A and B are shown apart, each in its own frame.
Chain A
Amino acid sequence: MITLSLIIVPLFGAVLAVMWPGNRTRPWLLPVFGFVHTALTFWLFFNPPVVAPDAWIGFDPLVRAVLPPVSLLFLVCAAYGVPYLHIRSERPNRVFVALLLTTLGLISAGHLSRHLGLLWITTEAVTLASVPLLHFNGTPRAFEATWKYLLVGGTGIALSLLGSFCLGYASLHGGGIGDLTFTALAAQGAELSRPWVLTAWVLLLVGYGTKMGLAPMHTWKPDAYGEAPSIVGAILAGGVTTVAFTAILRVRAVVGVAGEGAIADRTLLVVGLFSMLVAALFLLGTRDFKRMLAYSSVEHMGILSIGAALGGAGLAAALFHVWSNSLTKGALFLSAGNLRRAAGSAAMDEVRGMALLTPRSAAIFVTGMFAVTALPPFGPFFSELQILRAAFSTGHSGAAAMFLGCLLLAFFGLTRVVFGIVDGRPRPGTRANAKRFVETAGVITPPLVLLGLSLWLGLFTPAMLREAWLAAVAQLIPSS
């Protein structure tokens, strides 16, 4: 019941938001329901329920390992949403608040889905619910980004449906009776028809990989993150991508017991390295600091994919990286939102000297950039180090070398953009625009909290979390 309330409570909040009369008070629904969701998630984290094997929805060890940071990220973004929507009080926020809460409910549902068909339905629903969030700003650029998001994302999602059907047929061909829960699929094991499993793996990896933003299916990401409000970008980058990653992990587990795990791992490794390379090269070229965040997200999705390809230790490190990436990237998105609002533009050519105009946001942005490029002692440093160690211990030293090379290139790209906008003397136009933006506690605290969480994750990494990640690994790779 508590498990189901993770879905129902935010959806109830969405209905309440639709009916709420006041435009000024409505944003408060976001942190209220975000807090209830986080409280429920952590209650379940500390008291994990027993999940029936045939349950369609359940808080299993995998969900326990990845949902808490998503919920935390949402809560902090929701707290940021109140001052943000206050600044943007000229725009009606009924649809925005309602759909943000709907997205939270559907993100939970996507994580909790233990059924192939249900997983697809929820992922598609998240995609559709986030569409109006992307064009909240109502500019032609925002509509262009939304169109690309819909077309690329829609095609990806369609291919993952085809892949789901193929996996279903693999089960049917192997004598299955049409039970498409992941437990039942895994129980069939080697009876699953191999050619169909491989077809399904390719289609599902492309499909959910599009949603995750793995290269070369990442093309919607820079546009969408560049034009969407920062809280939406943070939730897409830290929450929706995690749903897709969880989906890939669940499918990967089935492919593994069907006896094709080696091929699955190789494709994950190649796609991951390719994503890192593409992201690093585009980071060296981009001239817009919000699009920069999108490429950085592509890079980190690549890191997750590589971690997932490296067996038990790598997978546990990838789950660790889900935490560190979600929280750190959230801090970057929110502080970038402040800079964007103060500067009136996200283009590197127009924005300079933000350290003088918005010193606190600029400081958080720079620190967040160092954190995300794996500066110790922040979370990403330790999770990436563990992935690297898993790569060496499994004999993938070539991949590890390329991994390090891409990290270095990405570091150059990120520092180039970040210091380009933070340093120097501000332009007169920017100066005038920045006067209208006040760095209140409401817009500074949320990114600072996320940065603090990232630091805490790196310094202390509670034993309970490690245990949760290992339990998820045991669920996905039963033999290890």
Chain B
Amino acid sequence: MNGGTLNLLIGLAMGLNLLALGSSRLPSLIRAMSLQGVVLGVMPLFMTHATLHWSVVMVALATILGKGVLIPALLRRAMRAANIDREIEPFIGFVPSLLLGAGGTIAAVAVARALPLLPEHAGSLLVPGALASVLTGFILLIGRAKAISQVCGYLILENGIYLFGLLLIHSTPLLVESGILLDVTVGVFVIGIIVDRIQRAFDSLDTRKLTTLRE
């Protein structure tokens, strides 16, 4: 059990959360998110007890490819195709976002202490890391105006859930894991298509223009 290395990686992922919150330009937000995807993908390799099982290697590879390469490439393409300016327009400013994120991380550590863990997970940062990423995802979803940065927020939220899923990696069947991974990937494709249609219909990816429908 490489608990130390694993915690280091989770710490890195939590740092990338803060980087994502502080990014003022889309390319750096996407970079933070894709780097987090790679870090997450490597983690299962450090969680095995003795020998690497092929299914764990497959999950790791699929995650690195999906979250680290494929999805960021799609988002970059959407960004170029839409030819939007790269500044992120925040509803919640960068400094407040960072403060919220940092406070949330501390709260996540505190909350995680209240939940009982199995002996082999004791001392692991997986639960606080997961909660902090989910929270970061929410802040980005609520606090950013551009559709692509909201998608990044959604993906960071999903990264947090993935972190939590690592607690169960040895007990969930591969079929379920691959199904979840497939759904998430298809989901991003669908979001990508809608982003493209919104760009064509509204000539903008600014979600502040999506306000026709209300009471």
B210 beta carbon closer than 8 Å to chain A:
yes
B43 to chain A, nearest CB (A): 15
Cβ A147 vs Cβ B190 within 8 A = no
User: Bound complex: CA of A115 vs CA of B11, how far in Å?
Assistant: 33
Other-chain residue from B118, B161, B170, B191 in contact with A165 (beta carbon distance below 8 A): B161
Nearest neighbor of B111 in chain A, beta-carbon distance: A199
- 28 A-B residue pairings within 8 Å (CB atoms): A117-B180, A121-B176, A128-B187, A135-B197, A141-B213, A143-B194, A143-B198, A146-B197, A147-B207, A150-B191, A151-B141, A151-B150, A155-B138, A155-B141, A158-B154, A158-B161, A161-B165, A161-B180, A162-B164, A168-B171, A169-B167, A172-B171, A176-B171, A178-B171, A180-B172, A193-B116, A227-B213, A287-B215
Size category of the A interface is 35 or more
A279 beta carbon closer than 8 Å to chain B:
no
B87 beta carbon closer than 8 Å to chain A:
no
Binding site for B on A (CB under 8 A): 115, 117-118, 120-121, 124-125, 128, 131, 135, 139-141, 143-148, 150-151, 154-155, 158, 161-162, 165-166, 168-169, 172-173, 176-178, 180, 193, 195-196, 199, 222-223, 226-227, 282, 285-287, 291
Other-chain residue from A154, A193, A223 in contact with B213 (beta carbon distance below 8 A): A223
Known: A148-B213, A286-B215. A121 touches B202 (CB 8 A): no
User: Bound complex: CA of A162 vs CA of B118, how far in Å?
Assistant: 18
Cβ A118 vs Cβ B161 within 8 A = no
Cβ B154 vs Cβ A154 within 8 A = yes
Nearest neighbor of B170 in chain A, beta-carbon distance: A178
18 new A-B pairs (CB below 8 Å) besides A143-B197, A222-B215? A117-B179, A118-B179, A121-B183, A125-B186, A128-B186, A128-B187, A135-B194, A144-B213, A146-B194, A151-B154, A161-B161, A162-B164, A165-B164, A165-B165, A173-B116, A176-B171, A180-B172, A195-B115
B14 beta carbon closer than 8 Å to chain A:
no
Cβ A158 vs Cβ B172 within 8 A = no
Chain B stretch 69-89: residues in CB contact (< 8 A) with chain A: none
Cβ B168 vs Cβ A144 within 8 A = no
User: Bound complex: CA of A165 vs CA of B167, how far in Å?
Assistant: 9
Tally of chain B residues near chain A (CB < 8 A): 42
Chain B stretch 164-215: residues in CB contact (< 8 A) with chain A: 164-165, 167-168, 170-173, 176, 179-180, 183, 186-187, 190-191, 194, 197-198, 201-202, 207, 210, 212-213, 215
User: Which residues on B sit within 8 Å (CB–CB) of A146?
Assistant: 194, 197
Nearest neighbor of A140 in chain B, beta-carbon distance: B201
User: Bound complex: CA of A195 vs CA of B180, how far in Å?
Assistant: 25
B147 beta carbon closer than 8 Å to chain A:
yes
User: Which residues on A sit within 8 Å (CB–CB) of B141?
Assistant: 151, 155
B178 to chain A, nearest CB (A): 10
Binding site for A on B (CB under 8 A): 114-118, 130, 134, 138, 141, 147, 150, 154, 157-158, 160-161, 164-165, 167-168, 170-173, 176, 179-180, 183, 186-187, 190-191, 194, 197-198, 201-202, 207, 210, 212-213, 215
B139 to chain A, nearest CB (A): 13
B183 to chain A, nearest CB (A): 4
Cβ B154 vs Cβ A155 within 8 A = yes
Cβ A155 vs Cβ B116 within 8 A = no
User: Bound complex: CA of A172 vs CA of B169, how far in Å?
Assistant: 11
Cβ A172 vs Cβ B134 within 8 A = no
User: Bound complex: CA of A150 vs CA of B154, how far in Å?
Assistant: 11
Nearest neighbor of B158 in chain A, beta-carbon distance: A158
Nearest neighbor of A227 in chain B, beta-carbon distance: B213
User: Which residues on A sit within 8 Å (CB–CB) of B117?
Assistant: 173
Nearest neighbor of A161 in chain B, beta-carbon distance: B161
Cβ B190 vs Cβ A131 within 8 A = yes
Cβ A168 vs Cβ B168 within 8 A = yes
User: Which residues on A sit within 8 Å (CB–CB) of B115?
Assistant: 195-196, 199
User: Which residues on B sit within 8 Å (CB–CB) of A143?
Assistant: 194, 197-198, 201-202
User: Bound complex: CA of A345 vs CA of B61, how far in Å?
Assistant: 51
User: Which residues on B sit within 8 Å (CB–CB) of A115?
Assistant: 176
Cβ B172 vs Cβ A117 within 8 A = yes
